[in-house]
Amino acid sequence: MRNLRYLILALFFSVITGTLSGQSIKTYNSFKDYKQLLHQKDDTTYVINFWATWCAPCIKEMPAFVKLQEGYKDKKLKIILTSMDFGSNVDARVKGFMNKHNITSEVVVLDDPDSNSWIDKVSPEWSGGIPATLIYDKDKRLFFEKEFTYKELEQVINSKFDIP
């Protein structure tokens, strides 16, 4: 009976902490399910950044995206940070990263290992290295296989896209 009580207590605490830390990060194990994030047809400009928690240049450029999201929070610009993390504890690693870097943008995980079948569908210009960023709206798509500074990111957004 005591064991049962402990079990219920443990369950109770894990539910509470689970709720406090939020939902699991949405994970796409197949590119065909993820693809629609790259083809939204509204009047929002989408900034899709491909990164991973272990990728040093990705971590270095992350504040640029955080700052961009802040600056455009009342406008039609949406950042989707797509983590390429794989292996054990992806959810915990990604969540830990988000907390540490104050990330409020949407974060998803893309874990479809047959990358040869989908890299070109993100952009034929992509050779597969991360970080990489796709910026698109209903009229235009631009792809960058590079690390961004905030200035460069803002420059691209300002000069190439109209954001209501």
Partner 1 sequence: MAPFAMSQGYNIGDKAMDFNLKNVDGTHVSLSDYSDKEGVIVIFTCNHCPYAQAYEQRIIDIDKKFASKGYPVVAINPNDPELVPEDSFENMKKRAKNKNYTFPYLLDKKQEVYKTYGATRTPHVFVLKNQSSKFIVQYIGTIDDNYKNPEKVTKTYLADAVNALLRGEEPNPEKTKAIGCTIKDKAK
Binding stretches for partner 1 (CB under 8 A): 52, 54-57, 84, 86-87, 111, 113-117, 119-120, 126-131, 145, 147
Is 37 or 77 the residue whose CB approaches partner 1 more closely? 37
Cα–Cα distance, 149 to 159 (Å, whole number): 16
CB of 146 to partner 1, least distance (A): 8
Is 57 or 63 the residue whose CB approaches partner 1 more closely? 57
Q: Is there a contact between 156 and 76 (Cβ–Cβ < 8 Å)?
A: no
Whose tokens are 């794989």? That residue is: 86
CB of 111 to partner 1, least distance (A): 8
CB of 11 to partner 1, least distance (A): 31
Give Cα separations from 163 to 6, 40, 43, 68, 72 (angstroms): 54, 15, 8, 13, 9
